[in-house]
Amino acid sequence: MPRSGYDDIAEEYYDLRHVTCRNFDNTTKSSLVSNSFPIPDGKLLEIGAGRGRAGEFLGVDHSRVVQLDNSQAMFDLAVREECSLKILADACAIPLASGQFKYVVGFLIDPFMGLDCLAEAHRMLVPEGRILLTVPTHQWGTVLRTMLGIEEMTTRFKVLDTENIVVLPSVLHTPERIDEMLKMVGFQKIEISCDALTDFEQPVSSDITSVCETLEIQVSDLPIIHTIRATR
């Protein structure tokens, strides 16, 4: 498998100094509190798993979780969630037989969000199986990337304690386009929420506050995460 761009930042991706990522994490947690995603039984596939978040965000026992990621460096992290199986593979071409999972989840799957990924998630699920996915919002990301002068479908990570920048794919879609893609590959009962930081969040990334200043809105009025729920 080709080397993943996330290999370059795996060691520091979860560092508290990457404030934007931590703001995304906390917004995801708030969204799940206000609109829970119960998973009482069945196997769960976590795509783009990184170090694993299904236990942290959903309270799922590791024995039920299969983690999939295309970054060996992420799988090699010393601090990570346990799982029943790790699969080094592309979420757009999953090397597993169809219909094995009751749930497919993925947090911040913008590097590969599109029809191929959604079709594979649909293929992995049993009938009535469900997905829970999060992506950064088009509303936030496109404004920021215009301000930064970078391509709309890319993001950049500042490597800590250096002047280095790592540019990675980050595909953003409007809620309408997400809904259209989900229906195209066969999902139903679609819910897409637009989630913002709470008024109490500290610190807040300058990548968020700068967009708020440009749009002349409060931080709590800027959706930064779409939480996507749907049923096969």
Helix (H, G, I), strand (E, B) or coil at 39: coil
169-219 residue pLDDT tens? 999 999 999 999 999 999 999 999 999 998 889 999 999 999 999 999 999
58-67 residue pLDDT tens? 999 999 999 9
CB 42 within 8 A of CB 54: no
For tokens 């969204």, the residue is 31
Helix, strand, coil share of the chain (percent; to 5): 35, 25, 40
**In the chain, what percentage of residues exceed pLDDT 90?**
86
Look up the CATH number of domain 5-231.
3.40.50.150
200-211 residue pLDDT tens? 899 999 999 999
Report the chain's mean pLDDT, rounded to a whole number.
95
Question: Phi and psi of 98, rounded to 5°?
Answer: -70, 160
Q: Which residues of 126-151 are buried (b: 16+ CB within 10 A; e: fewer)?
A: eeebbbbbbbbbbbbbebbbeeeeee
Could you give the CA distance from residue 22 to residue 27 in angstroms, rounded to a whole number? 9
Question: Is the previous residue joined to 203 through a cis bond, with omega within 30 degrees of 0?
Answer: yes
